[in-house]
Structure 1
Amino acid sequence: MSSRTRDIPVYVPEKPVKLLDQFRSWLRANHYRYQTEQTYVHWVVTYIRYHSLRHPREMSTPEIEAFLTYLATQRQCSPATQKVALNSLNCFYRKFLKIDFPPLEFRRSRQYRRPPVVFTDQEARAVIEQLSDPFKLMAELMYGSGLRVSETLRLRIKDIDFGQGQLIVREGKGNKDRITVLSDQLHDRLKLQINLASSYYKYDRQNGVGPAWMPHALARKYSGEASQLGWQFIFPSNEPAKDPQTGIIRRHHHHPDTIRKHIKKAAQEVGLVKLCGPHTFRHSFATRLLESGYDIRTVQELLGHSDVSTTERYLHVMNRGGLGVISPLDRG
């Protein structure tokens, strides 16, 4: 599979024979997001490999408990990672295989509460200035609109509303749509990027390249719309690639690893030693808004957090370190 199309669902036979293909088919039939499918399959495969490729139907409570304990004690996974592994196996056994088991007893991972890494405004702008378009524009959207890297790359032409100064995030985390702010400073360069995407679109139409990829739900709801200009990705990849599910040659968007590499290099060039990446711009967006006095519920809505406690993390890193306490050395 091309790295450019890694977020397009892999092909699964109509009547799958292999157990993992059957699991994938069941997940899709029950409308799980493809990222969830990838995660669940990954942890089921890791679980099977840990138990020397034994068939899952031959294993039950002791094997699941041993695997989850191994994640905590040997791999030292975070509580969040261990919980994802548990959710994956719960879904696989209880929902898919219809095999129930009693409450599990296993070693829980230790909780380490780490505040998010945040750029100062000066650092964010310095990193951005080291980038060139389209990656500079991607970083500015993440910092100026609070987008995740995947949300940035999946933006389509129709998602930009210049008149209202906003953009729409389609099927974000939790499979939710949301509206967030669009900086006035980005309008002109965004229009240039859309013109570039439009030129790719015209070229592809003339040369037999297939329509833009759409998730299953959207493909069913808007049948035929993928061939329209509005549904084209704003940040198209340089070359078309084969759709792993259908075999159709399409032009997908840039791969997330590409922008990650550019941002890592830019941070090194300006001398930043903090561990940072594309998501740091989103953290910084939230922190800047809270520093400016915006209501935490407003920030929660712009970020698309389902729980306000997730947004509250940024209260601990705004203004100053140490929960906003002023050092005695800095008092007049």
Structure 2
Amino acid sequence: MTESDNNNPITVQQSSPETSVQSWVPVYKQLENEIKLRHYSPKTLKAYRTWTRQLQGYTKSKNYQNLSQQDVIDFLTFLAVERKVSASSQHQAFNALLFLFKQVLKKEFDEIKGVTRAKRKPYIPVVLSRDEIDLILDHLDQPFNLIVKLFYGCGLRISEGVNLRIRNFNFDTGILTIHDESNSRRINEGKKDRTVPIPQSIVPELQEQLRKTTSLYEADLQDNFAGVFLPEQLEKKYQNAAKDYLWQWFFPAPTLTLIKDKKEYRRYHLHDTVVQKAIKKAVSSAHIIKRASAQTFRHSFASHLLQENYDIRTIQKLLGHSDIRTTMKYTHTLQRKTIKQAKSPLDFISEGEHDE
């Protein structure tokens, strides 16, 4: 039977003892509905679904209507003690299960007590030298070469790089605007936009990419395509935006995607997995011994700015960090001077006077 309460549309099976094994299919369907209702990102849905599945396995698929807060406490402790997950992973699991209880199962969720906390391990990001970056770039063809230059030159996340649209670039002012187009959220982060300077050294390459994108767009119009993909709420707000020039992807996928139910073709951006594979291959070909990925170029951007004595607050804004503590991790990538190598401030003054 189905509960009449509209706040809990999950189908409940009759005579389901607490210890019985039960299908959780309705849970996953409702989880997806609640995520889409709030316009959270696909990555959030994937993460929340993963932690829900792990809880299901831990409880041996017990009747989800009989799940208790103690099940969550035991599971989070299991993650820390047995699985030895990181503190951030345990925190992510907590957020996912909090959402599951409150928004999907419609259960009360009081303050969690008695959970064994996962140990926080010091995290030092992998940083490449400028020579290593140049070497990797030498092994990348277009458009991957240009995408990586934006990762490093602007401190972009991989999702921000592949999601760039023509409207993000203002070549007159030399500014690249990173829009959070949807209400989708990175886990534990809010919606925010930011601006970063466009590296002037790659403007000619960016304009060449723009010409290629424009040519592809004009060809798509001739073929009467349905436009590019847009977040659902933007599609409703700007009904003609999918075919609008400014909303076209800056790095479009080489082929169109068929939407079967609508029988129309749309253009998607270059997929992030394709970019990651290209970077992995280039790192291997360049014989770089560090574990470098797309995120490594963002790490290098921050670390190199610190080396040039940029203010940590400025770097925080350029990276789009909401918490300064996230940015502070890059201070650990700088080479420390020993006491013997350090100089007294009095010596700085003396050297300055001597130079005069």
Q: Which amino acid aligns with 2:287?
A: G
TM superposition shift of 1:122: 1.2
Equivalent in the alignment of 1:211: 227
Q: Secondary structure of the equivalent of 2:126?
A: coil
**Higher relative contact order at CA 8 Å, sep ≥6: structure 1 or structure 2?**
1
Q: Structure 1: which 5+ residue stretches go unaligned?
A: 1-14
- Please point out which of 58, 76, 81 is paired with 2:84: 76
TM superposition shift of 1:81: 0.7
Q: Secondary structure of the equivalent of 1:252?
A: strand
Q: Which amino acid aligns with 1:309?
A: R
Equivalent in the alignment of 2:20: none
**Contact 1:48 1:55 (C-alpha < 8 Å) held by counterparts:** no
Stretch moving more, 271-280 or 96-105: 96-105
Q: Which amino acid aligns with 1:179?
A: T
- Change in Cα spacing, 1:243 to 1:74, as seen in structure 2 (3 Å) is farther
CA distance in 1, matches of 2:191, 2:106: 26
- Change in Cα spacing, 1:139 to 1:105, as seen in structure 2 (3 Å) is same
Give per-residue Cα distances to partners, 1:91-150, cap 9 Å, x unaligned. 110233221244242322221112111011111111112111100000000000000011
Equivalent in the alignment of 2:144: 135
Stretch moving more, 223-232 or 210-219: 210-219
- Change in Cα spacing, 1:16 to 1:193, as seen in structure 2 (3 Å) is farther
**Contact 2:98 2:109 (C-alpha < 8 Å) held by counterparts:** no
Equivalent in the alignment of 2:66: 58
Give per-residue Cα distances to partners, 1:254-283, cap 9 Å, x unaligned. 111111111112112222111110101001
Equivalent in the alignment of 1:316: 332
TM-score, length-scaled by structure 1: 0.87
Give per-residue Cα distances to partners, 1:200-236, cap 9 Å, x unaligned. 2122222233211111332233221111111111111
Q: How does 1:146-225 map to 2 (within 5 A)?
A: 146-171=155-180, 173=186, 174-225=190-241
Equivalent in the alignment of 2:295: 279
**Contact 1:33 1:175 (C-alpha < 8 Å) held by counterparts:** no
**Contact 1:71 1:77 (C-alpha < 8 Å) held by counterparts:** yes
2:337 is the alignment partner of 1:325: yes
Equivalent in the alignment of 2:99: 91
Equivalent in the alignment of 1:122: 131
Stretch moving more, 295-304 or 57-66: 57-66
TM-score, length-scaled by structure 2: 0.81
Stretch moving more, 94-103 or 198-207: 94-103
Q: Which amino acid aligns with 1:87?
A: N
- Change in Cα spacing, 1:114 to 1:244, as seen in structure 2 (3 Å) is farther
- Change in Cα spacing, 1:236 to 1:38, as seen in structure 2 (3 Å) is same
**Highest Rg: 1 or 2?**
2
**Contact 2:27 2:104 (C-alpha < 8 Å) held by counterparts:** no
Q: Structure 2: which 5+ residue stretches go unaligned?
A: 1-8, 12-25, 344-356
> Aligned residues: percent identity?
32
**Contact 2:175 2:198 (C-alpha < 8 Å) held by counterparts:** yes
**Contact 1:116 1:314 (C-alpha < 8 Å) held by counterparts:** yes
- Please point out which of 57, 65, 86 is paired with 1:49: 57
What RMSD, in angstroms, separates the aligned Cα atoms of the two structures?
2.4
Equivalent in the alignment of 1:107: 116
CA distance in 2, matches of 1:16, 1:133: 49
- Change in Cα spacing, 1:246 to 1:274, as seen in structure 2 (3 Å) is farther
**Contact 1:236 1:254 (C-alpha < 8 Å) held by counterparts:** yes
